[in-house]
Amino acid sequence: MLQGLGSSAYWHETSQRVPNPAVTGRHDVDVAIVGGGYTGLWTAYHLLEADPSLRVAVMEREVIGFGASGRNGGFAMTLLDMGLDQLRCNYGDARAAAAHRAVATSIDEMGATVAERGIDCEWRHGGLMTVATNRGQLERIERDLAAATAMGLDGIRPLNADDARAEVHSPTYLGGLREEHCAVLHPAKLVRGLATVVEEMGAIIFEGTDVTSMVDSLGRVRLTTPAGAVVADQVVLATNAWASQTEWFRHKVVPLYTYVIMTEPLTDAQWDAVGWDSHCGIEDKRNFVHYYRRTVDGRILWGGSDGVIHLNGRIAARQDRNDGVSARLERTFRRTFPQLSSVRFTHHWGGPVGITVSFMPMFGTLSDGRLHYGLGYNGHGVAPSHTGAKVLRDKVLGKSTDLTDLCFVDSPEPRFPPEPLCWISAELTRRSLLRQDARFDRGHGSGSMDPLLLRVMKKLG
Ligand SMILES: Cc1cc2nc3c(=O)[nH]c(=O)nc-3n(C[C@H](O)[C@H](O)[C@H](O)COP(=O)(O)OP(=O)(O)OC[C@H]3O[C@@H](n4cnc5c(N)ncnc54)[C@H](O)[C@@H]3O)c2cc1C
C-alpha cells in the first residue's frame, strides 16, 4: 500500500500502525470525512470534542498519513505560505493579524493535546529562525519585522548576522528573525497518534477505502467505495492535493511535488561544529525556501529548494523521488554547512501538496450546504490544518464564529486556466520564482515580486 514511499520514507520506517479494514456494506453516520491526514483527523477530533455523541467516519484511500501529513518536514509554524508583509498587503492589518494569531494559537493547542492525550510524536517547541542568505532576503525579513510591529504581533524579534551565526554556525547567514511560535515534530507519529485518539473518542476509521463518488441520497450524501458505502448527513473533503482530481476543485488546486533529504545521525563532534543545540527549526527567505531541522536521533532533515508540477496535475508513486532536486538539496546543504562536508544522506522522498492561485488555503461549503472542504495549504499545512479543522467543525455544526470569519474562509478563490494553459502558467510562475531566487543569490534585485510573476498572477486572478 505504501507504494512509492518504500524504505525511503524515514518517518514511515520509524512509526508503526496496523491499518484498519476497508468499508464493506453500508454504514450510516452523521459526518463522513474523506482523507486520513491532519485535516481529516483534526476535524474528527474537534467535532467529537464538541459533541461526543456524533457518529463520525474517516475514509482514507491508502493508510492514515499516506499523503503529505505522513511525509512532511514536521514544522508546525505560523506561516500561511507567505511572509507577514505579503499577508498584510493582501488582507490588511486586522485580518492578517487574526490569521497569524489563529495559527499561533493552534500550535499551542496542538502541543497541549499532544501532551494531554499522550501522543508520542517527538514534539519539541524550539521556535523558528528565518535566515537571510543574501541582500534581497534580508530586505524581505526587514519588511516582515516591520509588518509584525505594525500588526502588534509578539514573539518575533530581529537577529543580526552575529546572533544568527551564534545560534547555528553557517557562514551564509546575513541576519534573520526569531519567532517563538514554532515546534518540530515527527509527522507520521503525529498523524497516527491522532488516529488512535479519535478512535478512542468514537470515530470509525476506514483505510484502503477509495471514495469513488458522492451523490445525493434522499437528502443525505452517499459516498461510494469499491466494497460498500457510507451514507452521511454532512461530508468534509480533506484530500488536499488529490482534490484537484474532483470536478469541484480541478481548476482551483494544482498538485506540486516537494522533496526532502535526510542525513545519517551526526556525531557529537559534528554537532559541536554546527553549534545547533536547540530544536529550533530553520528556514531561509527564498521563494522556494530551504527548511531544515534536527530529529531526535541526531539527523538533519533538509528540504525545499524547488517544486515540480506535472502536466494534467498528475499524482503518481514514481514522482515520490526526484534525483535532480535531491542533488540540488545536497549542494545547498554543503554550502550552508561546509563543516559537514563528509556527512552522508540516507533518505530522500517527496509528496504532493495542493497549490492555489492566491497561495492561501481554501475553506468553505459547496452550494447545497452539505459538503465542506479544507485544502490547498500550499507548502505549509501542519499547523494551519489544525486551525482549518476548527473552521470545518464550526461549519458542520452550523456556527458562525471568529474562525469562520478568517481571511481564507469562504473567499472566492481564482481559478487556474484549463490544461495545457494551467501547466504552462504554473510552470512560468515556478520558473519566475526560481529566477528571482537566483538573481538574489547573485546580489541583484530587491525583495519585491518578479514583474513577470506579477503579470502571470494578475492574468490568473
Ligand atoms: C515533503 C513535504 C514536506 C512538507 N513540510 C511541511 C512542513 O514542514 N510544515 C508544514 O506546515 N507543511 C509541510 N508540508 C505540507 C503539509 O504536510 C500539508 O499541508 C498537510 O499535511 C496537509 O494535510 P491534509 O490532511 O490536508 O492532506 P494529506 O495529508 O495530503 O491527506 C490527504 C489524504 O486524502 C487521501 N485521499 C485522496 N483521495 C481520496 C479518496 N478519493 N478517498 C479517500 N481518501 C482519499 C490521500 O490518500 C491522503 O492520505 C510538507 C509537505 C511535503 C510533501
What is the pLDDT, as a whole number, of residue 448?
58
The atom of ligand 1 lying closest to the CA of 70 is 29
Q: What is the rounded distance in angstroms from the CA atom of residue 245 to the CA atom of residue 187?
A: 25
How far are the Cα atoms of 70, 221, 243, 432 from residue 4, in angstroms, in the given order? 13, 33, 20, 30
> pLDDT (tens digit, 9 = 90+) per residue, 447-458?
555 555 554 444
What is the pLDDT, as a whole number, of residue 446?
63
C-alpha cell at 178: 526569531
For residue 205, the one-letter residue type is: I
Q: What is the rounded distance in angstroms from the CA atom of residue 53 to the CA atom of residue 389?
A: 18
Residue nearest to atom 48 of ligand 1 (CA): 67
Is the preceding omega at residue 420 within 30 degrees of 0, hence cis? yes
The atom of ligand 1 lying closest to the CA of 38 is 25
Spell out which residues line ligand 1, taking CB within 6 angstroms: 34-40, 59-62, 66-69, 71-75, 77, 210-211, 238-242, 258-260, 303, 350-351, 353, 375, 377, 379-382, 385
Q: Name the residue of 12, 61, 315 to mutate for ligand 1: max ligand atoms within 8 A of Cβ.
A: 61
What is the pLDDT, as a whole number, of residue 176?
97
What is the pLDDT, as a whole number, of residue 460?
41
The domain 126-178+254-354 having CATH identifier 1.10.287.130: the answer here is: no
Q: What is the rounded distance in angstroms from the CA atom of residue 86 to the CA atom of residue 64?
A: 34
For residue 23, the one-letter residue type is: V
Buried b (16+ CB within 10 A) or exposed e, 39-60: bbbbbbbbbbeeeeebbbbbbb
What is the pLDDT, as a whole number, of residue 445?
67
Under-70 pLDDT residues of the chain: 1-8, 445-461
Boundaries of every domain in the chain: 126-178+254-354, 421-460
C-alpha 96 to ligand 1 mean position (Å): 24
What is the pLDDT, as a whole number, of residue 426?
83
What is the pLDDT, as a whole number, of residue 1?
35
> pLDDT (tens digit, 9 = 90+) per residue, 52-87?
999 999 999 999 999 999 999 999 999 887 899 999
